[in-house]
Structure formats: C-alpha cells, structure tokens
Structure 1
Amino acid sequence: MVVVAVAGGTDAVGRSIVESLMAQGKHEVLILSRTANPMKEKETGARLVAVDYEEVAALTKILEDNNAHTIISTLAMMPNDAGSLEQNLIQAANTSKMTKRFVPSEFGFPQRAEDGHIFPTIPMKQASRSALEASSLEWTVVYNGYFMDYFGMPQLASRLAPYVVLLDIPGNAAAIPGDGNKLVTFTHTSDVGRFVTALIDFEEWDRVSFIIGDKMTLNEAVKLAEVAKGSKFKVDYDDLDKLKRGEVTELPSQISSYSVIPREFVQAINSAFGIWVDRGDFDFDEKTSLNTNFPDIKPMKLKELLEKAWKN
C-alpha cells in the first residue's frame, strides 16, 4: 500500500480517479485542494488537505508529512496560473523524501509544441514535461483521447462540465473536421479512473501511457448517435482551410453557452480540435496501450453510452 495524492481530486477527471482508487481500496488516497472542503471529503471518503501551490517549501512538507508516494495531478491547465502551479508541485515532489512517482495533468492526446500559438495550455504542459525530465521522479503521461462523457450529457451524469464539440446530440447536429474518416479514440472518465488506478501497481512506468475506451471514425459515431436517438442529424463538414482560419460550423447547443464562454473562444477551441482530429492525433495504437497490460478492464463502448443516454 502507498499513499496516492490526487491534486484537483474534488472534481472532473480527478474526482473519477479518486473514486476508482477508493473503490479498489488498496491504497490510501489523499486529495490536494486549494481550500478545505469537508463536504467533498465526506462525499469521497478520502482525506483532503488544503495546500498553497505557490509555497513550494510548505507543499514539500505536506507531501512528506503525509507520506505521499505517488502524485496524480489533475489541475485544470487553463490560461491562468495552473500551469506554473503544477511546476511548483513537481518541484515539491522532487524535493520530498517520500515522493517517487508523478502523473502530470495532461490526459487528452499528445500535443505538439508548435501548436502552442493556437492553444494556450500546450506551453504549460510542455513546461511541466520539461520539469519532470529534469527531476529524479518516475513519471508517465496519460492519454485517453476524447472524453466520451460529453456525448452522454445531459442525460448521463458526469464529473466533467458540459461542452459541445463535434457532435451536438441534443441538437441532432454534427460539425465534422475533414472527411470524417480519421479514427478517434474515446474514453469515459470512469475508465480513465480504472486504468490509472491499475497503473499505480505497475512495477515500471513507460513515459507515455495510452488508454483506449473505444475507437472509430466520426462518421461512424454520427451513425451510432442517429440510431440511438432515432433521428437524422444535420451534418456539416469543415475543411482544413476553414479550420486553420479559426472557424468551425456552429452547433445549435453551443449558442446558449455564449453567455458563459464567448463565441470567439468556442470557435478557436473547436477549430483547433478539428485540426488535431483531421491530423490523426487521436488515433492511438492499440499495441502500445494500457489495454494490453490490463485486459481484465473492459472499458465502456461509445455505442453502449449512446444507447444508455439517448435510446427511447
């Protein structure tokens, strides 16, 4: 048994990882949070420690005092201070006499440094990777493709916040990059939790760990959604030139979100996402995935999720 500390473990994918670790019951789970939260502590059953990510020395002491052996960071890598905060956490982990392993907050898919100008989280993640390479920690980056949860919302509960890209299932519409025939990896957050939990007991980590919940083309995904809903979708195809201009077909369910997320921001994110899909960045190789190491984990398939969420 080791102590696994999950930074940002109160919500989103971090919460799914905490829940999976708690269900397994093999390791002690510690949530690192910026604020004390007795309600979240009670809900998860895991100990929660409030930390100040700005104070590396204090953070190091917390890791040592709590015997934190493995750290899983799920800090939100958005255009704020989260990127530098994760680097502070890496520095603290590297200094801590108790901490040996680290998983940075990447997930998603392998991103390229040259794309940093179109997506602000990329330089942050690259900086974390550089910090880990310079450390004495054992570490691995986990990639799971596109979170399948988004295609079940709002019918199925998820720890993720709703966001519409590619398929607008409530709106019976799709905005497909390219010809829609590139393979895309989809994984539900609950399965990310299960694979990451299994990874804790793996004797030696590779620098990259791929998870494949399901894999298919977006054209195939649209057909599954149409069958599940019993409705024909309006499908638009955005070519690469349009995507490179930062433009993407607007989906019906996106409009109501503009009061929270400006349309320009949605267009920028979704067009970048379309470029990466069309480039084949979400097409993971099954032979190098964690699925081969943990064959007993049977991840949810997209057809199963769509039928559960939308059939009848």
Structure 2
Amino acid sequence: MVKVAIAGGSGQVAREVIDALVAANKHEITILSRKAQPISNTTAPGIKWQVVDYNDKPALTEALRGTHTLLSFVQLLSDPGEKSQRNLIDAAIGAGVKRFAPSEYGSKSTIDMPWTYGKGRIVEYLKEVNAKSNVLEYTLFQPGLFLDYLAFPHQTSAHLTPLQTIFDFANRRALVVANHADDAVMTLTSVKDLAAIIARAVDYDCGRWPATGGVRGNRLNFAQVIAMGERVRGRPFKIEKVKVEDLEAGELNTSWGLEAVHHAVSDEEASALLKAVCVGVLLSSTKGAWDSSDEMNRLFPDYEFASAESFLAKVWEGKE
C-alpha cells in the first residue's frame, strides 16, 4: 500500500483512474484540487480531498509529504506556461515523491498540434531536473485516441464525456488525408483500459517505470478504422479527402467539422480550436503522432484490452 496523490482529481479522466484505484483497494488516495469538494461528490472510504494552490510551492510540498506516486491530470488549456505542473514537479522533488506521471493521456507526439505543445515542454523540464541524477521517476501514459470517442454521442464510461472525432460513426462519415489512408495510424484505447493500466503501474514494483509509457489498445490505420465503422454501422461511410498542403496552410476544405468542444474551452475560443484540432489531428496522423508505443502492454502482458470492433459493435447495435 502506498500513498497516491491525484492532481486535477476532479477531471473526467482522473475520475476514471480514481475509480480503478479504488476498485483495487490497495492505496491511500488524496485528490488535489483547486476547488472545494462538491457537495454532490461523495468519495469512497480512504480517499482524502485536499484543496491546493498550485502557485504556492511550499504549501504544495507540504501537501505531498509522504506521497509515493503523483499522477497529474492538470488541464493544459487551463495552465498557461505549464506553471501548475512545473510547481508540482518541484514540490514533488522537495517532498521526496518517488514517481510522477505528467498530464499526457493522448498522442505519442505533439507535432502539428499546438494546443498540446505544453506536454513537450513538461517532458523537457522533467529531463532537465533529472539531468544530474534521477531525482524523480516518471512515465508518459500515451493511449492514443480514446476508443470511447468513436461512440459519440453515446457515453460509454462513468465520467468521460463523449467528443467528436474525424471518424463520425453517428453520421457514417470520416475525414482522411489524401494518399494516407493506409499509412496514417490511429491507436484506439478505451478509457477504462487506460485507467486499469495506470492502476497496475501504480502497483508495479519490479523496477523503474519506463520513461515513455505507451498504451496500445488497438492499432489501426485510417482505412481499417473506416472499414470497421462500415461493418459496425452497416452502411458505407462518406469519405472526404483533404490535401496535406491545405492542412499545412491551416485550411480545412470539408463540408463538416467538429462541433463538440471540451468543457475547458470557452465559447469564444471554441470555433477556432475545433478547426485547429481537426487540422492538427489529420496532419499529425501522417507523421506518426497517434501510433503509440507499447511499453505498458509489455509490462503487463496478461492484460486483455477491449477490441475496438467488439466495443463499438455493442455501442451501435440497434441504433439508427
């Protein structure tokens, strides 16, 4: 049993991970949050809720005393300059925390996705603080795209809100980059599987965490995702192809785009960000950004991941 702290513990992915840790019933869990615990939120026995100020590094350090593993789910869009996560890292080192996972939980690379560039800067900071000696063990949990998003608008987990993607199963359509349907790869992992793997990683005591913690639920190229969608949905998809040169110019010449925005994004920012996300995901997919590695799969070879097709067939069965 170890003490686990969850930064940004009121977030959707964080709550999925907390549920997995609670189900394991092995650890003392502290949720760190900027806000007081909601009256409607009742935590399981053994979970402590602690209000923190991420700008107060000494207080953060005290809050982390005795913590073995710190998992960060700080929302990048709400953390300009990555100040909160940098302070968390400094406080973790000062408090003697053994293990840290920064706020990743997505693509392998941030190339062509400027809204994620903060992830890269945090990785560089982790390398910097560990340059002279390994003061803080860390891993980057990278599951690719949540498989649950291909079920949009249907919710498939307890906490993760459905979001649209370039694979629109609801309307039987998809966006692809011309001439890249066969070489652009998308890793698809359910949020439940990610949470289960993180819970196992917290228990892992056979050595250090790998610096990159790729989580590969399903590895499919775009053509395979679309073919799967057509089988699951029972009809052909309407495919719109975009040119690399248009994407590189920031243009999205399609008849449709993303509409469902993350809760952390303001209404004023939504339109521009949704276009940027669509352009960025398409362009980055041609450069391997979503082809997650499999370090965590190899660490836990007995774990069985949800099959993308079986998962989605259950979601879409009987639906128009």
TM-score normalised per structure 1: 0.89
Report which stretch shifted further, 21-30 or 125-134.
Answer: 125-134
Aligned to 1:187: 189
Query: What is the number of residues matched between the two proteins?
Result: 303
Identity, in percent, stands at 27
CA distance in 2, matches of 1:251, 1:94: 50
TM-score normalised per structure 2: 0.87
CA distance in 2, matches of 1:72, 1:284: 20
> Counterparts of 1:288-307 in structure 2 under 5 Å?
289-307=295-313
> Counterparts of 1:55-134 in structure 2 under 5 Å?
55-64=56-65, 67-78=66-77, 80-81=79-80, 83-97=82-96, 99-111=97-109, 115=111, 119-122=114-117, 124-133=118-127, 134=129
- Structure 1 residue 232: Cα displacement: 2.4
Cα 1:249–1:213 change in 2 (3 A) is farther
Q: Deviations over 1:215-268 (max 9, x none)?
A: 111211112222222232211111211211222354657357699464332111
Q: 2:239 is matched by which residue type in structure 1?
A: V
- Structure 1 residue 110: Cα displacement: 2.8
Q: 1:301 is matched by which residue type in structure 2?
A: S
Equivalent residues of 1:164, 1:253 under 8 A apart? no
Cα 1:259–1:18 change in 2 (3 A) is closer
Cα 1:138–1:242 change in 2 (3 A) is same
Cα 1:295–1:40 change in 2 (3 A) is farther
Equivalent residues of 2:187, 2:291 under 8 A apart? yes
Q: 2:116 is matched by which residue type in structure 1?
A: T
Cα 1:187–1:86 change in 2 (3 A) is same
- Structure 1 residue 91: Cα displacement: 0.8
Structure 1 segments unaligned to the other structure (5+ residues) = none
**SS of structure 1 residue aligned to 2:64:** helix
CA distance in 2, matches of 1:93, 1:129: 15
Q: Deviations over 1:8-52 (max 9, x none)?
A: 122221111111111111111111111111446515553211111
- Structure 1 residue 206: Cα displacement: 1.4
Note the aligned Cα RMSD (angstroms): 2.3
Aligned to 2:225: 221
> Counterparts of 1:9-24 in structure 2 under 5 Å?
9-24=9-24
CA distance in 1, matches of 2:235, 2:277: 27
Equivalent residues of 2:107, 2:290 under 8 A apart? yes
Aligned: 1:209 with 2:213: yes
